Chains A and B, each alone.
Chain A
Amino acid sequence: MPASSAGALAALRRSEDRLARANRSSALAAESGAFARALGSMAASAAQQAAQLAPATGER
């Protein structure tokens, strides 16, 4: 865990980005359409969290 709050927020943002990518990848590979929809929505949610954290980490 990073010592500074800025470092922790940046790490959290990277984590949300990774989660979004993983969920998108899983959605793409899903055999079930319903499951793909759920995973795609979860990817979008993680993307929202990453975007929300961007100003706090000085990124866009």
Chain B
Amino acid sequence: MTPLAALQATLAGEHAALYVYGVLGGRVSSSHQRALAARITAAYTTHRARRDQLTVLVRGAGGDPVAAEPSYQLPGPGRTPAQLAAAARVIERRCAAVYAEAVGSTSRADRAWALHALSDAAVRELSFGGSPTEFPGAPDL
């Protein structure tokens, strides 16, 4: 995968993450599930910033940033607090996988960016009830 293709794939992943977190944010009760709502909001804010950073990185690499799809399929029903947290874990795992691919397909500043994002996603998955794994983002290893 070329560095530009890796950045575009990562940007596409951020578009999906943002969409799903937006839906999750609309379904979580900020009064009854305050902690979960705060974590979802923080995740949304982080992924939005990543999307914006990636847009700049793609342009810097000479590409035309990939656009978001009109909608994305939710990973699971996402109704109860447990289901919302499960959906968030899936999103972070998927993001970690695209970040890991970006680590392997880029270099220097772009790789440093992807490394930071990979660790951040792996740790954020824990905040939604995930467990540590041997190879976050690279379960094939």
Count of CB-CB pairs between chains A and B under 8 Å: 76
**Interface of B: prevailing SS:** helix
Q: Which residues of A contact B116 (CB under 8 A)?
A: 24
Task: Please classify how large the interface on chain B is, using the bins under 10, 10 to 19, 20 to 34, 35 or more.
Answer: 20 to 34
The residues of B that contact A45 with a CB separation of less than 8 Å are 122, 132-136
CB distance from B57 to the nearest CB of A (A): 16
- Taking CB atoms, residues of chain A closer than 8 Å to B100 are 37, 40-41, 44
A-contact 0/1 string along B117-129, CB 8 Å cutoff: 0110111011000
Known contacts A24-B119, A28-B112; A44/B136 CB under 8 A: yes
Of residues A28, A45, A48, A51, which shows the largest number of chain B Cβ atoms within 10 Å of its Cβ? A48
**A residues adjacent to B (C-beta < 8 A):** 20, 24, 27-28, 33-34, 36-38, 40-45, 47-49, 51-52
Contact call B114/A47, Cβ cutoff below 8 A: no
Chain B residues within CB distance 8 Å of chain A: 96, 99-101, 103-105, 108, 111-112, 114-116, 118-119, 121-123, 125-126, 132-138, 141
Please state if A37 and B112 are interface contacts (CB–CB under 8 Å): no
- B135 touching A41, Cβ below 8 Å: yes
A-B CB proximity, top 7 nearest: A37-B104, A44-B122, A33-B104, A40-B103, A48-B132, A41-B138, A47-B119
Most buried by B among A27, A34, A41, A51: A41
